[in-house]
Amino acid sequence: MPDVDTVRAFLDEPHVAFAGAVDGFARAELRPRPEPAGDAAARVEAREVLELLGEGGWLAPIAARDLRRIALAREAIAAASPLADAVYALQALGATPIVLAGSDSAARWVEEAVAGRAMGAFAMTEAEAGSDVASMETTATRAGGDWVLDGEKAFISNAGIADFYTVFAQTEAGRGSKGIACFVVPADAPGLAFAGAQVLSAPHPLGRIRFDGCRVPGGACLAGPGDGFKLGLATLDLLRATVGAAACGMAARALEEATAHALERRQFGEPLADFQLVREKLARMATELAAARLLVYRAAWVKDRGAERVTLESAMAKSYATEAAQRIVDEAVQILGGRGVLADHPVDRLYRSVRALRIYEGTTEIQRLVIAGQLLARAREAGSGAPAGRDRS
């Protein structure tokens, strides 16, 4: 059972039962699965895990936009298998724009996605448009009632294995965010092709997709020029705190492994747990993890209570939890000594997996710009006398 007591104030009774159930599933079904060796094996494993998540009903909170359940699921699943967490994350990222847009014609993808029968993907980033995503160059051109997509997306999770892609494209050169529209494109649409894998050090299917005159019907457009960008930001705003939840899951597993090792391993005639320097590490790891979880579940709770935006709360949750998780996992490796860097050790897997969380769905630096931007805007509104300066958020 995960530590629900720390965040109990942000949960209702049914969440506590859900936390126990999803943790039980993750420990029984996901933890024993070995880390896939290589990219091809990771792609097969991702599809198998998707079926398990769908059959168990664990993806249902995505359609319900139940952020606390998504966070609890990601925390438990990430602790057991970072790859399974990536699968969960992409089902949410692929389906949420359809849910938020309320599109009837694309609703079948949400149904299939939460049942684990269709794998989703979220195609925003390009080789030259990362943090500055509004500079994207993939185009969408009107052709009668249809749209035609051209261009290439990079760093797309599930590229090559997804069944549908939620795609962002520019409808008018030079309009920046105001020209960006959002589409749902089936993987077998003529003109859409997998353009190659981008292989990570931790298993995570990633790659490029290419659009060459890819024609989609008008109903595939989830949000038109300008609104597409807003839909993308609203999706990220909603789900960002759950990246923090995944980070907490990885950190909790690392702390669990390090604590067990510290109690068992003896050097100089004593268990490692008796050395003050090791205790100091464990204390700092546990405290940072508790702080991270409080920020994550606060953001999810604020959203579930009906707040329109949780930009500030989710930026704090994501940046703090992912940075803290990196430190916690690193300290766990240190406590494990040489065993912590053996390739088949769960903590080594966490060490390779946790790093990307500080980068995707908005880097830590971009989250800090967002936090400072909100802080400064509030200070100006309150007439604190702060001089009007340039801020980019």
Ligand X SMILES: Cc1cc2nc3c(=O)[nH]c(=O)nc-3n(C[C@H](O)[C@H](O)[C@H](O)COP(=O)(O)OP(=O)(O)OC[C@H]3O[C@@H](n4cnc5c(N)ncnc54)[C@H](O)[C@@H]3O)c2cc1C
Length of the chain in terms of residues written: 393
Site for ligand X in 206-235 (CB under 6 A): 206
Judged by CB under 6 A, the residue of 113, 156, 162, 192 near ligand X is 156
135 binds ligand X (CB under 6 A): no
- Token couple for 262: 């510290």
Total residues contacting ligand X by CB under 6 A comes to: 21
Nearest-CA neighbor of 82 among 208, 258, 245, 285?
245
Cβ-based nearer residue to ligand X, 2 or 205: 205
Judged by CB under 6 A, the residue of 96, 103, 157, 170 near ligand X is 157
In this structure, the dihedral spanned by the alpha carbons of residues 290, 291, 297 and 301, taken in order and rounded to 10 degrees, is 130
String of contacts with ligand X for each residue 319-358, x by CB under 6 A: -------------------------------------x--
124 binds ligand X (CB under 6 A): yes
* Candidates 45, 128, 361, 365; catalytic one: 361
Give the SS3 label for residue 310.
coil
**Helix spans in 102-226 (H):** 107-114
Task: Compute the distance between CA of residue 357 and CA of residue 243 in angstroms, rounded to an integer.
Answer: 7
In this structure, the dihedral spanned by the alpha carbons of residues 94, 97, 101 and 105, taken in order and rounded to 10 degrees, is -10
Question: With contact defined as beta carbons under 8 Å apart, do 81 and 33 qualify?
Answer: yes
131 binds ligand X (CB under 6 A): yes
Cβ-based nearer residue to ligand X, 6 or 139: 139
Site for ligand X in 357-386 (CB under 6 A): 359-361, 363, 365-366, 369
**CB closest to ligand X, residue no:** 130
Question: Residue 59 Cβ, how far from ligand X at the closest point, in Å?
Answer: 17
96 binds ligand X (CB under 6 A): no
DSSP 92-137: HHHHHHHHHHT-STTHHHHHHHHTTSS-EEEE--BTTBSSSGGG--
- Token couple for 305: 């209570």
393 binds ligand X (CB under 6 A): no
130 binds ligand X (CB under 6 A): yes
Question: Residue 52 Cβ, how far from ligand X at the closest point, in Å?
Answer: 21
155 binds ligand X (CB under 6 A): yes
361 flagged as catalytic: yes
What's the sign of the alpha-carbon dihedral 155, 157, 163, 167? negative
Q: Return residues touching ligand X (CB under 6 A).
A: 122-125, 130-131, 155-157, 200, 204, 206, 356, 359-361, 363, 365-366, 369, 392
Residues known to be catalytic: 361
